[in-house]
Amino acid sequence: MIEELTSLVLKGGKLDYEQAYALTQVKDKEALYEGAHRITRHFMGNKFDTCSIINAKSGNCPEDCKWCAQSGHYSTQVKLYPLLEAEECVRHAVYNRRQGINRFALVTSGKRVTEHELDNLCDTIRLIKQQSDIKCCASLGLLGREQLERLYASGVENYHCNMETAPSYFRSLCTTHTIEQKTATIRAAREAGFRICSGGIIGMGETMEQRLEMAFFLRENEVRSIPLNLLQPISGTPLEKTSPLSEEEFLTSVALFRYINPEAYVRFSGGRALLSKAVQQKALYIGVNAAIVGDLLTTLGSRVAEDQILFTSQGYSLTENTDWEK
């Protein structure tokens, strides 16, 4: 069955839900991983996309997302600060580009930035573009079409808005906004000209079936950059005592996301520090072909030089154009 479904995808076919679910039941995980590896290299070659982020505004978020240290509903140790000055963001962008990182994202807490904040962020992007050739991304919440058009005109190329989890499970984790609002934001961003980056967090109590649901939802929305976060339980949040996924469950999830989204960048994101080097190498072999490097939003990230060695040791190139279709 694995060979049959792998061949189907390699020939340009798309798995349906029943076929993908059947892959979750196979006992020969190594054969599953090998099939995903073949799909990755067939559609994506050895290109590897790197990006970095800056937490441009931190904490005091009115949303009640149960996983998030920045939610004002929970008592966590996250740093609280307003929108960073442009000079600080520019400094980080220039530094990251000098380290060989392809992309730089401005990320803010909250449901959406204010008009004044958006104006400042657009000015910041223009300054970055004057001083560096790094590609700019943004994750500024549930913006409307006119706001997104202003942001695109400033020089941002990719807009990020995570689905976070399966539509059927989202309401269990967040009640202050909806999956429909997120979908509307993604559609508006694409209409404004952006490439889309959207993924989620696994290990938040969802089932494997719900992970499949999220993977298919992303495929239906033609998402080509999929950050795959692994929950890092944060003290003070409702998910602080959540048990971690097994290594096999994580690797199987990576393989399934690759089978369902063969032409996407599946991106190491938050939670990678919880994985051993061997598991990270295995995930790279299976289908992870992109990563957020450097520090993350509220948790320690990675050392860029060490990551570059890790990625290239698995046969990836860090020098090719990794832009995807809009």
CA 34 to chain centroid? 23
Domain assignment present for residue 325? The answer is no
pLDDT value for 69: 87
The separation between the first and the last C-alpha atoms of the chain, rounded to the nearest angstrom, is 33
Domain assignment present for residue 259? The answer is yes
pLDDT value for 189: 98
DSSP string, 3-32: HHHHHHHHTT----HHHHHHHHT-S-HHHH
pLDDT value for 156: 98
CA dihedral 132, 137, 139, 145 (to 10 degrees): 120
Question: Mean pLDDT over residues 125-135, rounded?
Answer: 97
Is the pLDDT score of 100 beyond 70?
yes
Domain assignment present for residue 26? The answer is yes
pLDDT value for 291: 97
pLDDT tens digits along 175-214: 999 999 999 999 999 999 999 999 999 999 999 999 999 9
- Percent of the chain scoring above 70 in pLDDT: 98
pLDDT tens digits along 264-308: 999 999 899 899 999 999 999 999 999 999 754 444 445 888 999
Domain assignment present for residue 253? The answer is yes
Question: Mean pLDDT over residues 78-98, rounded?
Answer: 92
The reported pTM is: 0.95
Number of structural domains in the chain:
1
pLDDT value for 298: 42
Q: What is the CATH number of the domain that holds 17?
A: 3.20.20.70
pLDDT tens digits along 9-48: 999 999 999 999 999 999 999 999 999 999 999 999 999 9
pLDDT value for 76: 85
- Higher per-residue confidence, 258 vs 58: 258
| Reported confidence tier of residue 127, pLDDT bands at 50, 70, 90 | very high
pLDDT value for 305: 87
Single out the residue of 185, 246, 259 nearest to residue 20, CA to CA: 259
Domain assignment present for residue 200? The answer is yes
Domain assignment present for residue 217? The answer is yes
- Percent of the chain scoring above 90 in pLDDT: 89
Q: Which of 87-96, 130-139, 189-198, 292-301 has the lowest mean pLDDT?
A: 292-301
pLDDT value for 74: 87
Q: Which of 30-34, 145-149, 216-220, 301-305 has the lowest mean pLDDT?
A: 301-305
Q: Which of 59-63, 104-108, 189-193, 295-299 has the lowest mean pLDDT?
A: 295-299
Measured distance CA(267)–CA(301) in Å, rounded: 14
CA dihedral 113, 119, 120, 124 (to 10 degrees): 110
Residues 256, 20: contact at Cβ < 8 Å? yes
pLDDT value for 266: 98
DSSP string, 185-205: HHHHHHHHT-EEE--EEE-SS
Domain assignment present for residue 114? The answer is yes
Domain assignment present for residue 275? The answer is yes
Measured distance CA(311)–CA(318) in Å, rounded: 8
Range of the domain at 61: 2-313
